[in-house]
Amino acid sequence: DVVPHEWASAAYASLRGARAWVEDLGKRLSTLERTAAEVVVGPPKVLWLGGFFSPSSVLTTVLQTHARKHGVSIDTLSIETEVLKKSSGTDISTHAGARALHVSGLYLEGAAWDARANALADPHPRQSTVALPVVALRAVPTESQSTRGVYMCPVYTTRARGSTTFVQAIGLRTNDPQSTWVLRGAALLLDDAYPATAAT
């Protein structure tokens, strides 16, 4: 159940076996088709971040769009995040940050999310990952971005953490010291599938 090398070398990072890989590819294609249809009538409400070949390019686009609109250098901007309390279309459309880019498909590893406190929490027992609600991304001036009470959480495309799967670090609210989450190895994954050989 191994993905052929020819396929894997031309595709996105994945730890899935061949069958699951093909199913995932089908999901990505159908999502992109649906998104393309939505763009005709307006910006899509939510984008599946992990469904893109280059998730980092999506984040860069957020910065580029803001930079061009306001005539500032992209180097002076950073991504600010807000985890929404709910993820329905109605909540997103009426959300104060409706002009932000809303993304889904982020999984926390080494931590959980407390919706009431709107902050990171201790991980659930026997649960390796937990799905985040929709996350709003917006560009803000780096100098105005507060790092107090924020854990700069690394984002990886798969469980195989490394330089080739690293996307970017984004801020998540925390009531604990950043060192707490660093020591726990807290990170966000765009695909929480286990390697095919480790699947049970």
Average pLDDT value for the chain: 89
Look at the pTM and tell me if it is higher than 0.75: yes
Judged by average pLDDT, the poorest of 21-25, 50-54, 89-93, 148-152 is 89-93
Q: 62-105 pLDDT, tens per residue?
A: 999 999 999 999 999 999 999 998 655 545 655 545 578 999 99
pLDDT at 199 over 50: no
The residues, ordered by sequence, that sit 6+ positions from 134 with a Cβ below 8 Å of its Cβ are 46, 83, 84, 87, 92, 102, 103, 104
What structural domains and CATH numbers belong to the chain? Answer: 5-198 (3.10.490.20)
Which amino acid makes up residue 154?
P
Which amino acid makes up residue 135?
V
SS3 label, residue 185: coil
Q: 126-169 pLDDT, tens per residue?
A: 888 999 999 999 999 999 888 889 999 999 999 999 999 999 99
Do 73 and 67 touch, CB atoms closer than 8 A?
yes
Distance (Å, whole) CA 72 – CA 60: 14
Tally of CA atoms within 13 A in the half-sphere of 105 that contains its CB:
19
CA distances from 20 to 16, 30, 189 (A): 6, 15, 17
Residue ranges of alpha helices (H) inside the chain are 5-9, 18-41, 55-70, 89-93, 178-183
Tally of CA atoms within 13 A in the half-sphere of 190 that contains its CB:
27
